[in-house]
Structure 1
Amino acid sequence: MDVSSFVLLSHEQALRRQLDVAANNMANVSTTGYKREQALFHEYVETAQAAPVQEARKTSFVLDYGAVHDIGQGAFQATGNPLDVMIEGPGYLNVELGDGSTGYTRAGFIKVLETGELATSGGQRLLDENGRPILAPTDRTGSLTITADGSVMAGEEAVGRLAVTSFADENMLEARGDGVLTGPGGQVMTAAQTKLRSGGVEASNVEPISETAHMVEILRSYQTSQRLSADLADMRRRAIDRLGKIG
């Protein structure tokens, strides 16, 4: 296999990675709080010691550097539940994971457990600024509301404040597959920094039409790469036939 085939192969691997990411985005178009991902690549240039011409000494390959999140805000979806919240701007709600560690989510569906503790729709307990679950009086769960700074109110009494954590580099976060992310480097936001909107949740920021168009572009690029590969194979075949006739 010559250098041109290796270059095409690296290109096709990059296109496959792009298609996987785009397909995952489409699968999460209705996932609350989901942030669109985009494949990230880096050019690797290899310099040969010798080549027929000077310009042919350098060969450019494509390296997969993972994926980055589009942190753009999703649309507000009203639910009618006063406990449901959408984070306006950066940040993630803090939740308690099964192993006792802290996870982060933007899916703001909130319910009250039988114990009076606030939890996500998946059952993970929501945490306050001190990393503790928020416990509401069981006889006043029907009057609970959440203010813009994250304070949980039982009537006129504040029973806690939802912790919202921001990250300097959100690409350090890893998705678990259940709408919860994990990662280091988070900073709990103050009440003044926190901006919540109650009565609804944040929709996915994936645009189905744009994502579909992107998938079509990827497929067309892959088809072009396949045609180039076939042309190179045909060129080699003709060269071998001619060499055979000369011999």
Structure 2
Amino acid sequence: MDATSYIAISGQGALRRQMDVVANNLANMGTTGYKAQGMLFSDYLNLPDRPGPKAGLGIRQVTDLAVTSDHSQGEMEHTGNMMDNALNGPGFFVVETSGGPRYTRSGTFAIDAERRLIDANSLPVLDDNDAPIVIPEDAGQLSISTSGEIESDAGPLGRLKVVEFEDPGTLEPLGGGLFVGNAVPAEAEATEVVQGMREASNVIPIAEMTRMIDISRAYQKTQNILESEHERQRTAIRELPRPRAG
């Protein structure tokens, strides 16, 4: 494959993956606590030393490195449901999985058959002792303070574990609004739990639609480059003089 085609195809591959990310953002713009994602790219630009009208024009090869998340807070929406809890600040709830603790901004909780407090993914929500929170049958109405203390008719039931990260950008986004990371989290100091509220997705639909249009246009331009290069090669092969026999 020639260099022009290889570089153009690498750009198209990056654009396709970027389109997937944008489509995923739009699909989750109604998902509680969802954080808009973007692509982190690296490119290599070769600027050949050549005179004429193409001076300064280079060849760029694009590589997508990772998916990043925008951790800005979404809008707070009042639901009146006491099982809905939003986080005002940069913190995360902690849930238990078979692969270890995971972090989420979604505080849409419920109680499972084992009387455990679970999130929207049916994962147990952990307390500040890293244990699942069990809700007794006679608990009645739950009251959760801004510090995460859970009170009920049966007495105190523990405290929601809420953590913060020095750099949330190091967290890797997973499905279902979950995040995982290698950094050790700290106890939340700048985050409050707000009961009866939900945090809306921070996706801005008009911005994502604009990005989708820009990506489509860039993809089409790259396709035009490929078609022009292929036509140039066909023309060169057709018009090059053939060697004379013997």
Provide TM-score, normalisation by structure 2.
0.85
Q: Give 1:114 deviation, angstroms.
A: 5.2
Asked if 1 retains the 8 angstrom alpha-carbon contact of 2:90 and 2:190, the reply is no
CA 114–18 in structure 1, closer or farther in 2 if over 3 Å, else same? closer
Q: 1:130-175: CA deviations, max 9, x gaps? A: 20122344312x2311111111122595331111122234344334
Q: Secondary structure at the match of 1:40?
A: strand
In the alignment, what sits opposite 1:218?
215
1:1-247 matches, cutoff 5 A: 1-45=1-45, 59-98=59-98, 101-113=100-112, 115-140=114-139, 142-154=140-152, 157-190=155-188, 192-244=189-241
Moved more, 90-99 or 17-26: 90-99
C-alpha separation between the residues in 1 aligned to 2:153 and 2:186?
26
Counterpart-to-counterpart distance in 1, 2:134 and 2:223: 60
Give the distance between the partners of 1:88 and 1:41, measured in 2 at CA.
Answer: 31
Q: Tell me, in whole angstroms, the C-alpha distance in 2 between the residues paired with 1:229 and 1:148.
A: 58
Distance 1:93 1:3 in 2: 48
Taking the aligned partners of 1:44 and 1:193, their CA distance within structure 2 comes to 40
Distance (whole Å) between structure 2 residues aligned to residue 96 and residue 61 of structure 1: 41
| CA distance, structure 2, for counterparts of residue 236 and residue 244 of structure 1 | 14
Deviation for aligned residue 1:6: 1.9
Other structure's SS at 2:94 match: strand
Q: What is the SS of the residue equivalent to 1:4?
A: helix
Q: CA deviation at 1:80?
A: 1.4
Give the Cα separation in 2 of the matches to 1:4 and 1:123: 49
* Distance (whole Å) between structure 1 residues aligned to residue 236 and residue 121 of structure 2: 63
Q: Shift in Å at residue 242 of structure 1?
A: 3.4
- Cα shift at 1:7: 1.8
Cα deviation digits, residues 74-120 of structure 1 (max 9, x gap): 11222211231111121211111245x21211111112345543222
**In structure 2, how many angstroms separate the alpha carbons of the residues matched to 1:39 and 1:97?**
27
More helix by share: 1
Give identity over the alignment, percent. Answer: 35
Unpaired runs of at least 5, structure 1: none
Shift, 1:245, TM fit = 6.9
CA-based RMSD: 2.8
TM-score under structure 1 normalisation?
A: 0.85
Structure 2's unaligned 5+ residue stretches are: none
SS at match of 1:139: coil
- Tell me how far apart the structure 1 counterparts of residues 160 and 122 of structure 2 sit (CA, whole Å): 16
Deviation digits for residues 7-37 of structure 1 (CA, Å, limit 9, x no counterpart): 2112111111111111111121211111111
CA gap 1:72/1:161 in 2 versus in 1, 3 angstroms: same
Per-residue CA distance 1:35-59 (angstroms, 9 max, x = gap): 11101110124699xx877x79x74
Distance 1:89 1:120 in 2: 19
**What secondary structure is seen at the aligned counterpart in 2 of 1:68?**
strand
CA contact (8 A) 2:71 2:169 kept: no
